[in-house]
Structure 1
Amino acid sequence: MELRHLRYFVAVAEECHFGRAAARLHVTQSTLSTQVKALEREVGGPVFVRTSRRVELTEAGELLLVEARRTLAQADRALDVARQSVRGETGVVRIGFSGIAVLAGTLAADLHHFHRAHPRVELHVTELPPAAQVQGLRDGTLDIGYSPDNGLGDVGDLVVGRGVRTTLSIAVRHDHSLASAASVAPADLEGENLVVYAADEDDDSVLDRLGAEQRARVHRVTGTLGALVLASAGVGVAVVPAATERVGLPDIVYRPLRDMEADVEVVTLSRPDELGGPVRAFVRSWDRAGRLTQS
């Protein structure tokens, strides 16, 4: 049984006349009669009683009419839902983010604008280190990433959107000797235990910018809060993006880093040739903002 058989049947049942039903459906009356007969063969008996003046439903036809209307309504709804998904109006977007994306304001601003334009799309957000975001995009468990650019490695198979830049600062415990300085130079960090944000355990991108030589005295962390906790505990001096200063933790003092050309950029990550309608709509919002470039 095909959906058109049910549509033809419902039209005849509602019009109680083959001629009027055919005109409503924009088909010939003979075509309509043929399709109804095919339906009756599948049912195994008549669904209409035909008289010279009108068409009436049999008992089987009355029962079929109830179910046919339900089936057609569900089919229309299924098609509408699929169309909405293709247009990016419904569905799910799975987003991985690093803490710095929140502190820099990039993630919240993008989510706010997208949600206003697409209120029926579900947004699933998960905090993940950069390497996990890249892997998630590649294996299909993630749709969008927000990550600092340091330590990302080769992401030539992904689309990178340029975002917000922030300089580097240090975070130290309030009673640390560097806490009283107005600013700190990389040379001032000699001999200090350093806590640095890293994409993975082999990521030395921050250390390369600092020119740090004593790499054995380094704690690598994949989360902004983790760096601040270690600094607050006096374990070391945390080198963090300046946007981290928005986190006001007890016992933590922030000081700017000087005499160096080093900053961190929060980038957006997505897959090329994305098929998901909601994800494509999310990426288009970057394009409209002029932040989308191929890495």
Structure 2
Amino acid sequence: MELRHLRYFVAVAEELHFTRAASRLGIGQPPLSQQIQQLEQELGLPLFRRLPRGVALTEAGQSFFDDARAILAGVERASAQARRVARGEQGRLRVGMINSAPFHPFVPRVIREFGQRYPDVALAIDENSTPTLAAAVLNNTADIAFVRPLLGDSAGLVTEPLFDEEVLVALPQGHPLARFRTLSLWALASENFVLFPRLVGSGLYDDIIAACRRSGFSPRVTQEASQVTSIVNLVAAGLGVSLVPASMQQINSEGVTYRAIAGDAPSARMSLVYREGEDSPTVANMVALARERVKRKRGMPSGHSSR
């Protein structure tokens, strides 16, 4: 018994007429009659009573009709669901992001719009450091991640640059340098720095150190914190100055003053990473949406720029 036998039977049962059912199915009436006879022979019972004008279902035929329609409906549902999964419209997506990502409007907007476009895709969000997230994507415990630049070999990963974000000086409130609207990095040469460990954000860390060295000094790092939000709180406590992505101004932490950098300055890049050869349609949809939003948001103000 094949699905076509069920479709042929249901058509005849609904039309109660072989000729009309054959026309609906787009086949000849004799082949349709033969298919129904083969089905009845396989079942070992009559499904229809032949009448002078059309047919009527037997009691067994009515029971078979109800089940056949349910089977065909189930097949259609399964087929539709498989097509939705193949298009990335259903399933799940495990998204990683660094701690500072939610403070830049780009990332929450992408996540929100993805949820609106694909409401049947379950999103699982995990915040962690760039190296940890990169390892999670490689190990298939995450599907895609918003990260800062990776250090060294990133074999097995595709990196999709999203935008470069301005980096600002974070000063304790009342700091003597706060009276200036902009600061050169050299002005920070004698300051204690609060930064994240290199292993946590190696790419941005190296950019900050390199920019300071180009300005003639190596920053004296006296405090470390793995999360940028913690760095801002340590600055507010007066434990040093820092260089942070401009979006961290969204924290609105009391006791911190932000100033733009004059001249040579590092920038904080945000990228998407996913596995090489990834064939998940949900990942493809997220990447496509991020690219689309990069194009739409080109030309945003400094600190919220995309490229």
TM-score greater than 0.5 by the shorter chain: yes
Aligned ranges 1:84-95 → 2 under 5 Å? 84-95=84-95
For the pair 1:208 / 2:207, whether they are aligned, the reply is no
Partner of 2:303 in structure 1? none
**Counterparts of 1:233 and 1:38 in 2: how far apart (Å)?**
85
1:63 Cα deviation after fit? 1.4
**Counterparts of 2:198 and 2:26 in 1: how far apart (Å)?**
63
**Counterparts of 1:10 and 1:132 in 2: how far apart (Å)?**
56
Partner of 1:8 in structure 2? 8
Gaps of 5+ in 1: none
Work out whether residues 192 and 217 of structure 1, in 8 Å CA contact, stay in contact via their aligned partners in 2. Answer: no
For the pair 1:155 / 2:159, whether they are aligned, the reply is no
Partner of 2:270 in structure 1? 266
Letter in 2 for 1:228: V
1:1-59 per-residue CA deviation (whole Å, 9 max, x = no partner) reads 43222111111111222333222222334433443344335544332233454322222
Calculate the TM-score normalised by the size of structure 1: 0.81
Partner of 2:300 in structure 1? none
Gaps of 5+ in 2: 296-307
Work out whether residues 185 and 259 of structure 1, in 8 Å CA contact, stay in contact via their aligned partners in 2. Answer: yes
1:85-111 per-residue CA deviation (whole Å, 9 max, x = no partner) reads 333444433322224333332213333
Work out whether residues 94 and 124 of structure 2, in 8 Å CA contact, stay in contact via their aligned partners in 1. Answer: yes
Flag the 1:214–1:228 CA change in 2: closer, same or farther, 3 A. Answer: closer
SS of alignment partner, residue 162 of structure 1: strand
Aligned residues: 289
SS of alignment partner, residue 95 of structure 1: strand
Partner of 1:63 in structure 2? 63
Flag the 1:33–1:135 CA change in 2: closer, same or farther, 3 A. Answer: farther
Aligned ranges 1:90-101 → 2 under 5 Å? 90-101=90-101
**Counterparts of 2:138 and 2:115 in 1: how far apart (Å)?**
25
For the pair 1:102 / 2:102, whether they are aligned, the reply is yes
Flag the 1:40–1:101 CA change in 2: closer, same or farther, 3 A. Answer: same
1:214 Cα deviation after fit? 6.3
Partner of 2:169 in structure 1? 170
Let me know the Cα RMSD of the aligned residues.
3.1
Letter in 2 for 1:159: V
Flag the 1:102–1:278 CA change in 2: closer, same or farther, 3 A. Answer: same
1:192 Cα deviation after fit? 4.4
Give the stretch that moved more between structures: 134-143 or 32-41: 32-41
1:165-218 per-residue CA deviation (whole Å, 9 max, x = no partner) reads 223223233255554554444444446443224573583423333336466635
Give the stretch that moved more between structures: 65-74 or 173-182: 173-182
**Counterparts of 1:243 and 1:48 in 2: how far apart (Å)?**
73
Aligned ranges 1:135-150 → 2 under 5 Å? 135-149=135-149
Partner of 1:240 in structure 2? 244
Flag the 1:82–1:259 CA change in 2: closer, same or farther, 3 A. Answer: same
For the pair 1:253 / 2:257, whether they are aligned, the reply is yes
**Percentage of pairs with the same residue:** 31
**Counterparts of 1:201 and 1:145 in 2: how far apart (Å)?**
15
Flag the 1:164–1:29 CA change in 2: closer, same or farther, 3 A. Answer: same
1:101-149 per-residue CA deviation (whole Å, 9 max, x = no partner) reads 3333221333355455545544443323212322232233333322222
**Counterparts of 2:229 and 2:242 in 1: how far apart (Å)?**
10
**Counterparts of 2:104 and 2:198 in 1: how far apart (Å)?**
18
**Counterparts of 1:16 and 1:82 in 2: how far apart (Å)?**
33
